[in-house]
Structure 1
Amino acid sequence: MITRDAGDSWSKLDCSVFKNIKAGEGFFAASDSNIAIVGDYTWIASGGLSSRVYFSSDKGRSWDVTETPIIQGESTTGIFSISF
């Protein structure tokens, strides 16, 4: 889901913008702390079989992904929180 008007309305995000999601890679944190938004910039941390950071500089219209050295490979491993 994505909003372009500070939450007044929401629309489904076209998941095809995440072209490189790996099998077993997930985006989860009960506290929502795996997402950071600063102005137009968004970071989302993943975990599970792959632990990477997705970055958007245009409010989620396009994404780049960066590999990390964080422990990964099991469903309970990976990045669960990010903060700036």
Structure 2
Amino acid sequence: MMTEPAPFEVYEEGVYLHGTKAVLEPGDRLTPQQPSNYRDDLAMSHIYFTQTLAAAAWGAQLAQGEGQPHIYVVEPTGKVEDDPN
């Protein structure tokens, strides 16, 4: 039986997660300028990632597209900013 991920609980220290409906392969790079999940007329200038499984699952469920939600382990390569939300 699957259990819901606990909100605000760090998945694993030092591991970053990204939720999406895109199918990615190891080595693929996530790039800004993708359409927002919230506004069709807005291209994002950043990429969201998180240390919590709950937030990654939420992002995967909200992602645009017809595919199944996926959660990937990602490695930031640029400047990292904390989103106060």
Taking structure 1 as the reference length, the TM-score comes to 0.25
- More helix per residue: 2
